[in-house]
Each structure stands twice: as C-alpha cells, then as structure tokens.
Chains A and B, each alone.
Chain A
Amino acid sequence: AQSVTQLDSQVPVFEEAPVELRCNYSSSVSVYLFWYVQYPNQGLQLLLKYLSGSTLVESINGFEAEFNKSQTSFHLRKPSVHISDTAEYFCAVKVPGTALIFGKGTTLSVSS
C-alpha cells in the first residue's frame, strides 16, 4: 500500500521569502503525485500534478514541484510567496484503480 508523509505540519514565512513544503511517498509500484491547496472553509483545489515525463511541474501561480524517484520525494517550492498563499497544502499519491491517498497537510502561514 502507498503512503504519504508531509514532514512539516506548519511552515511560517514572511512575504516575498522562498518556501519549500516537503513531501515523501512510499509505494511498491509507480504512482502519480499531486499537490492540492485548501483555503479556509473550502474544498481542495488541484495545484499541480506529476504523471510522467518532465520531473519538474509548475502551476499557474508560481508554485513548482520536482519528482525525485531516488529519494521518493515531491517537494513543493515557490521562490517568493504572497499573503494570499496562506492555506493548507496537501500532497497526495495515486495508483490507477485505487483512491487518492493524502498526507496530513502542511499549513503555510505568510505574514508581512
């Protein structure tokens, strides 16, 4: 069975600073990897995904994540965060035919 570990439960940063949210996964088969974002009192929104091909994937709002097979990681990064990036971020793994499995989430708090 696959699993996801998000190494940091909370990450406080100042506006315009870089940030990295860490995610490691465990699986005996090839997986798809996702990052979702959840704003307060809302559902989850897909941020970006890795299915195959280039190991670096990007979102439209400046986030990127890199799939590292040897380290079984899929860390999320942004070079300069905004106040509006404050949210909870979930890393998830999926094997075709089974449900999406989530990590426990990382709360990103951006302050001025």
Chain B
Amino acid sequence: NAGVMQNPRHLVRRRGQEARLRCSPMKGHSHVYWYRQLPEEGLKFMVYLQKENIIDESGMPKERFSAEFPKEGPSILRIQQVVRGDSAAYFCASSPLDGDANYGYTFGSGTRLTVV
C-alpha cells in the first residue's frame, strides 16, 4: 500500500501563475482532506471532499482557491493567480470512512509551494 501520494513535493510559481497540487489517497480511502501549514500557525483545515462531492469547504479562501476529487484520478487543489502569501506547505490526508475515527487520517508528505 503506497500511502497518500502528493505531487509535486516542491512547486515554485511566479506571482499570477496557477498552482495545481495533486493528492492520490490510500487505496480504499474515499475521503480526502486538504490542510495548509504556515510557520507557527499549525495546520489549517481547507476542504473536505468525497468522490465528486465537496463536503465541507469552510476553510477555503473565497477567491482563487478550488478543489475537486473526481470519480477517477487524484484530488486536485488549484490556486489561481498565486500571490506571495500563498507560499506554504499543503498537506493532503485521506480516510476510509469519516464516521469511523478508528482509522484517523493518513497524511501525505506535502507539497511545498513557493511563490516568487
């Protein structure tokens, strides 16, 4: 079992470009969560998705950010027109069944986005 795979590990974008971050959940996991980590701020919840559905996007900025988890393929976090303040580590986690906390979340190694 390959675990949660995130790519790329490092991403550099110029201001105004688009950033696409990918997350493949563990095999058998149908719930995906995205978090953003800034120094000394911990992990901030962004969005919770199931296949083809956004369950909770209360942590997503209102503009420029979007997420999807299609029927086939990885979950994508998209940031349009990036700004320097978007520089952060973005982590994806997956779980098999949200109602069963016995499994907790399995985290990927993150994508470190740097906006120059």
Q: Does A44 contact B (CB under 8 A)?
A: yes
Inter-chain contact B99/A96, CB cutoff 8 Å: yes
Q: Are B108 and A90 in contact (CB under 8 A)?
A: no
Interface size on B, residues (CB 8 A): 25
Looking at chain A, what size class is its interface with the partner chain? Answer: 20 to 34
How distant is A17 from chain B, measured CB to nearest CB, in Å? 25
Q: How many angstroms between the C-alpha atoms of A92 and B104 in the bound complex?
A: 11
**B99 in contact with A44 (CB, 8 Å):** no
Q: Is B42 an interface residue (CB 8 A)?
A: yes
Instruction: Find B43's partner among A41, A51, A102 (CB 8 Å cutoff).
Output: A102
| Partner among B33, B101, B108 whose Cβ is within 8 Å of the Cβ of A43 | B108
B104–A49 touching, CB < 8 Å: yes
Q: Which residues of B contact A42 (CB under 8 A)?
A: 109-110
Q: Contacting B42 at CB < 8 Å: which of A51, A90, A96, A98?
A: A90
Chain A residues closer than 8 Å to B48, beta-carbon distance:
98-99
A-contacting residues, B41-78, CB 8 Å: 41-45, 48, 56, 59
List of B residues within 8 angstroms of A44 by Cβ? 43, 91, 93, 105, 107
Using A43-B109, A98-B56 as known contacts, say yes or no to A90 and B43 having CB atoms under 8 A apart. yes
Write the residues of chain A forming the contact surface with B, with a CB cutoff of 8 angstroms. Answer: 6, 9, 32, 34, 36, 41-46, 49, 51, 90, 94, 96-105
Q: Which residues of B does A touch, CB under 8 Å?
A: 4, 33, 35, 40-45, 48, 56, 59, 91, 93, 98-99, 101-102, 104-110
Taking a contact as CB atoms under 8 Å apart, the answer to whether A100 and B105 are in contact is: yes
Min CB–CB distance B84 → chain A (angstroms): 21
Closest chain B residue to A98 by CB distance? B56
Alpha-carbon gap, A94 to B31, bound state (A):
15
Q: Are B45 and A96 touching (Cβ within 8 A)?
A: no
Residue in B44, B93, B101, B107 whose Cβ sees the most chain A Cβ within 10 Å: B101
CA–CA, A9 and B41, complex, Å = 10
A97–B104 contact, CB under 8 A? no
